[in-house]
A and B are shown apart, each in its own frame.
Chain A
């Protein structure tokens, strides 16, 4: 029985399952078929497009291919954004996810050099395509890595939201930058997340911004007392509730880009709050789909926690 429960199929992290465009895009990129890649990207919503591009930034050895594509058409925003994300990913590989103090001088130099290369591609791309949300989203990421400061990050976000309002992938990037470890404060992060979530259409997955902001702060708390205080803070709680009602708990909750992560995030939140009924509703939405965030650091770490929470939500013991 225990063995059967551990089958990977009951917790599916693969984003290609909820977002089938991903498999097609990866296949096209592997085959160096840019027309095929564009066919996938041009057929989805802006949020899906940005998300697909971002996710595929980690495909191997894309640089030469994409530079070739851009030489043919310098105005191809999708190619530029993908090259931008790809170079940024390469930079992060060099930097590693270690604490800043543990990153060597050479690692910093390599990191910065790759982000600089990305930024040069993206500066041109945003000039050619001032309305391309994927380009602006990648420029939000490069601005953070290059430490360009919150004013420049806000400017880029404003350009993005002028072009495409409520662009969730870009809003997630701004959220990261508003964390105290980058350029902001918990207060700024929370305010932005709440306002952005409530400004989105009812039933959209943007409630995710509020729950992710909460988990960032919760995860960074010093001790149990602080975590308990955050969990019971009436204002945070009210904002989380309001955002959930406007998003994952809304009768017209929309399975657009980000919905799995939103439902997964609120499943974790409701489990933490001990709200069995709402947690169950999230797990019903999700079926076997899951995301690692905010459950754990890795799939191995997250999967048992998800199973346990799901079993409890569906009437089992904690």
Chain B
């Protein structure tokens, strides 16, 4: 039986449990709220808030999700009280002395974390804002200041933006959550980087993944299970093509839900896994839903729900619901809704999901043949501005204009407009990477363009500081250098090249070479012929020969350049 209460102005869901007591404090904030240039700020706050508990042997944790961030603990009542009170206290008075260390810990955590196999879907669906931000690294960490953190707490970690769940007999005595006051912060509206759906994009090899956004409903949850059963049957049992098949149903705070499916594929079976996957989705879209699958899935979910009700694991989800203004349903209500789900309802979800689908194909496989539009890989336009040809590849050029930047190759272009820029990554050596709201990337390496370093300040000036994210210094060998063979071709098209310059060098330096070279040799010879002022003569000889050597190097460069031109 679930009870709704209020503690220190914070709404609470409470339910007795068969297991040990546990409780959690959740805030309506997560990665979707982070600007890309501050990516990681919520996670950093979560770490700072938990720092005080670092040495205690408690069953506690924190988690930063897309829409919610929470702190939870399981144990004795007094420990839970100490934990929740401690987290609230830490949020109001952040241990800023830990800032540098916690940033380092987060970097280490990021480097050890494996790839999320489905994150490409969110990136291609939403681009580099809100629901796509979580797919990027925590680029904001280095630039986050104590003031940024305090502002983030003031905006999101407030009593009005929090909810509490308690699996136990009652609200524990001594609970004292002194959170600052603020207001409820709804999640941002999801952006779209997909003009046409269903769509596909080529992903990494060895897996096929798909997602769709549908209305949040009990039948959509059942569909997710039915989809898994159908994929499993087709790809694993019948075809032996995949080993692992997974689906996921994640409700979103805007009343929609994301359904995700993924199947792995042996390298030589990628095309078949894709084909089988497409066929399964097509059959469900046509309403060919097995009643047995629906029944099995409903029973499975009812059983899960019963367990969750007993051990209190429904409570976090209910606390999330409180924060987004959804009703708190009893388990009995949910069971009744589940039991009422029909095959036709599941089929209707399947049709809606198919229409919104985004398919990640393995490697270079396409899916246009199956009715999926190719998701935009290029920008539709190129900015007007100054064009710089690459020193390395004559087919590549960088354009810097008043409105944005473009990187142009033979038949494709990536453009980021300054007013649609999510982040500018800034390397100390001058490299810059612009990422647009749509996820388009324009990477500029100044060493690969004529006068590249002179361009950097001009483009920097166009992007507000708030969008910058500082990148760590790179090793010298990681800074690209144009390969020498490519220099002349690029020079010819880059201005400042051509034959004039080598000719000037040749005319100027050839006499220098002859003059200093000749004199240097004479002085050297003289030095060894007599005994007078040998040291002076040798010094003059060496200095002259050094001049000659430099001139000779210039002459050789000019001759080579003229020959190639």
Which A residues lie at the B interface, using CB under 8 A? 74, 112, 115-116, 119-120, 123-124, 126-128, 143, 146, 148-152, 154-156, 158-159, 162
Contact = CB atoms under 8 A, between A and B. Distances in A.
A126 B272 contact: no
A120 B269 contact: no
Nearest to A118: B369
B371 A152 contact: no
B95 interface: no
A177 B141 CA distance: 54
B272 A151 contact: yes
A116 B269 CA distance: 22
B369 A155 contact: no
Interface string B106-145: 0000000000000000000000000000000000000000
B238 A162 contact: yes
23 contacts: A74-B286, A115-B369, A116-B368, A116-B369, A119-B369, A119-B370, A120-B370, A120-B371, A123-B282, A123-B371, A124-B282, A127-B279, A127-B283, A127-B286, A151-B269, A151-B271, A151-B273, A152-B272, A155-B239, A155-B272, A155-B276, A159-B238, A162-B238
B275 A148 contact: yes
Contacts of B286: 74, 124, 127-128
Interface of A: prevailing SS: helix
Q: Which 8 A-B pairs have the closest CB atoms?
A: A149-B271, A127-B283, A155-B272, A151-B272, A152-B271, A152-B275, A151-B271, A123-B282
Contacts of A123: 278-279, 282, 370-371
A151 B239 CA distance: 11
Interface residues of B, number: 23
B268 interface: yes
Contacts of A119: 369-370
B7 to A, nearest CB: 54
Interface in B281-295: 282-283, 286, 288
Interface in B488-540: none
Contacts of A126: 279
B431 interface: no
B280 to A, nearest CB: 9
B286 to A, nearest CB: 5
B370 A158 contact: no
Contacts of B370: 119-120, 123
A120 B370 CA distance: 6
Given A116-B369, A123-B278, 10 more contacts: A123-B282, A126-B279, A127-B288, A128-B286, A128-B288, A149-B270, A155-B239, A156-B275, A158-B238, A158-B239
B281 to A, nearest CB: 9
Contacts of A156: 275
A113 to B, nearest CB: 10
A126 B273 CA distance: 16
B434 to A, nearest CB: 33
B274 interface: yes
A128 B283 CA distance: 7
A91 to B, nearest CB: 12
A90 to B, nearest CB: 16
B354 to A, nearest CB: 11
Nearest to A183: B271
A115 B368 CA distance: 11
Contacts of B238: 158-159, 162
B322 interface: no
B210 to A, nearest CB: 15
Contacts of B275: 143, 148, 151-152, 155-156
Contacts of B288: 127-128
A7 to B, nearest CB: 47
B187 interface: no
Given A127-B288, A128-B286, A162-B238, A152 B279 contact: no
